Amino acid sequence: PYMVGRGQLLNTENVHPWRHLRAGVFAIERLAMRIIRSGSSAGSYILDLGYVAERGKVSGTGGAGRKMKESRNPHYLQGASRAASQELLEMFGELNGGMSVLKAALTIASAHYPELLGRIIFVNANALFSIAFKVFRLWVHPRTRKKFMFLGGWADPPLEQLLEWYSPEELPQELG
- Please tell me whether residue 43 adopts helix, strand or coil conformation: strand
Global pTM? Answer: 0.80
Cα–Cα dist 96/93, whole Å: 9
Query: Within the chain, how many helices (H) and strands (E) appear?
Result: 6, 4
pLDDT in tens, 119-146: 989 999 988 888 888 888 887 778 888 8
Per residue in 79-113, pLDDT (tens digit) is 999 999 999 999 999 999 888 998 899 889 888 98
The CA-based dihedral angle spanning residues 59, 1, 44, 36, taken in that order and rounded to the nearest 10 degrees = 100
